[in-house]
Structure 1
Amino acid sequence: MTDASHDAPPPTQAVVLAGGQGSRLRPYTDDRPKPMVEIPGTGIPIIGHQLTWLAAEGVTDAVISCGHLAEVLQEWLDAAELPLRVTTVREPEPLGRGGGLKYAAAALPRPDEPWFATNGDIWTRFSLREMAAFHAERDATATLALARPRIPWGAVETDEFGHVLDFIEAPPSPYLINAGVYVFAAHFTKLLPDRGDHERTTFPRLARERLLAGFPLPQGAYWRAIDTAKDLTEAARELARP
């Protein structure tokens, strides 16, 4: 079952999951939700960057799933000049990642069309249109972006005899990880659990059926998950580079 032909236009609606407490980012998240934390030197909260990026990629409507200190996020949204239409929802009770995604998706304006989704703590830039084309070409039900982050420690290269050959500072990981950005077919919403984690239920089932695709981020695309104060500092340094 698929929703899009290979020449279908990319999605124009998206869900942003912005309800996390961000406990590892304290004290920055003592008075604001994680997506409202600003990257030093930019003056823009993470959510502002995301909405600008989504709009630049053709998204006209976004649903933001709020949680921790939702009123702070709502106040910012009300005051900001937003580049797209935004609706906010708040779970009546904790539903888990999959249940929360399903609850937010119910507020999308066009339930019969595909949609993007992103975690609210992702700071990235790449072509969502290319990702949507990749998704359509594979007739996938769900596609997740894949990143290859740098390992935060130095690596040691050795030969087969155990001699140390080189020291490599923060090398790229040999493994791809879930980058927290998705394209979903319209009918994916019905496959989500009402409560629980879709990455333990829906995704494994789609993978077994070869309906889950992985889109590697293009070479040179910027990506960082903002989880700790160190991530803020490093993101600011990276973005300041010419």
Structure 2
Amino acid sequence: MTGAPHPYPTQAVVLAGGQGSRLRPYTDDRPKPMVEIPGTGTPIIGHQLNWLAEEGVTDAVISCGHLAGVLQDWLDRAELPLRVTTVVETEPLGRGGGLKYAAGSLPRPDEPWYATNGDIWTRFPLRDMAAFHHERAAEATLALARPHIPWGAVETDAFGHVLDFIESPPSPYLINAGVYVFSAAFTGLLPDRGDHERTTFPRLARERRLAGFPLPQGAYWRAIDTAKDLTEAAKELSAQRR
């Protein structure tokens, strides 16, 4: 693995430029990561920054886009647990180009780094993921989640008899959880424009330099895409507190 030998990054990029059209009207006046989880008084980005700091991150670069000023104003007022820099794309660069542009502002370009999508609310040991990444000499490692299917499932036998109804079962497939560990050299593999998941990731997969870290059993993970996700996140938080 290229870059610093220490397996635990201390810097991260948060991608927070999405418009969040499926979360309207919450996102009419704020970017998606600035939407608050009901009952917490804290926006999604606040939960993320606290988690990153708890996992040893001291510096974060936030890539802003839609309504960037709202997010920057909140960052200026908030008591943050780490140092934060913001960057704003002057023109659309695509997901891979945006990631590369933001990584250019990392304070230690010769060290590995984390990245996370700005609409993810999760808690799991990032250091374990970084150690997994380091042990496999990967250039990039994806966190993998097994989300719950939003519909009820029906279990049948070979003769078509209904055996059971299962409410929101876990998916049989793992998905990209939107949290990453990258080597220092990964930045140079990103496209200046375009989507790294169509270019860089497939190339690394063919070369066996892309790893997948399944989230530990019981780890909390939720992508906040819709108003229903906000409601479910609030319920889950309440249950955890009880």
Q: TM-score range by the shorter chain?
A: over 0.9
Q: How many Å separate the matches in 1 of 2:41 and 2:92? A: 31
User: Percent identity between the aligned chains?
Assistant: 87
Q: What residue identity is the alignment partner of 2:34?
A: M
Query: 2:11 maps to what in 1?
Result: 13
Residue 216, structure 1, aligned to residue 196, structure 2: no
Contact 2:145 2:221 (C-alpha < 8 Å) held by counterparts:
yes
Q: How many Å separate the matches in 2 of 1:199 and 1:9? A: 24
Query: 1:2 maps to what in 2?
Result: 2
For the residue of structure 2 that corresponds to 1:118, the secondary structure is strand
Contact 2:7 2:134 (C-alpha < 8 Å) held by counterparts:
no
Q: CA deviation at 1:4?
A: 4.9
For the residue of structure 1 that corresponds to 2:60, the secondary structure is strand
Query: 1:34 maps to what in 2?
Result: 32
Alignment of 1:70-219 (within 5 A): 70-219=68-217
Q: CA deviation at 1:9?
A: 3.9
1:9 to 1:204, Cα distance in 2 relative to 1, 3 A: closer
Query: 1:64 maps to what in 2?
Result: 62
Q: CA deviation at 1:2?
A: 2.8
Contact 1:4 1:136 (C-alpha < 8 Å) held by counterparts:
no
Q: CA deviation at 1:163?
A: 1.4
Contact 1:4 1:139 (C-alpha < 8 Å) held by counterparts:
no
**Cα RMSD (Å) of the superposition?**
0.8
Q: How many Å separate the matches in 1 of 2:83 and 2:17? A: 19
For the residue of structure 1 that corresponds to 2:184, the secondary structure is coil
| Unpaired stretches in structure 1, ≥5 consecutive residues | none
Q: How many residues align?
A: 240
Q: What residue identity is the alignment partner of 2:2?
A: T
Q: How many Å separate the matches in 1 of 2:132 and 2:66? A: 34
Contact 1:126 1:222 (C-alpha < 8 Å) held by counterparts:
yes
Q: CA deviation at 1:96?
A: 0.3
Q: CA deviation at 1:80?
A: 0.5
Q: CA deviation at 1:44?
A: 0.4
Q: How many Å separate the matches in 2 of 1:2 and 1:177? A: 26
Can you list the C-alpha shifts for 1:165-186, whole angstroms capped at 9, x where unaligned?
A: 1110000000000000000000
| Unpaired stretches in structure 2, ≥5 consecutive residues | none
Q: How many Å separate the matches in 2 of 1:144 and 1:3? A: 18
Contact 2:143 2:180 (C-alpha < 8 Å) held by counterparts:
yes
Q: What residue identity is the alignment partner of 1:209?
A: E
For the residue of structure 2 that corresponds to 1:239, the secondary structure is helix
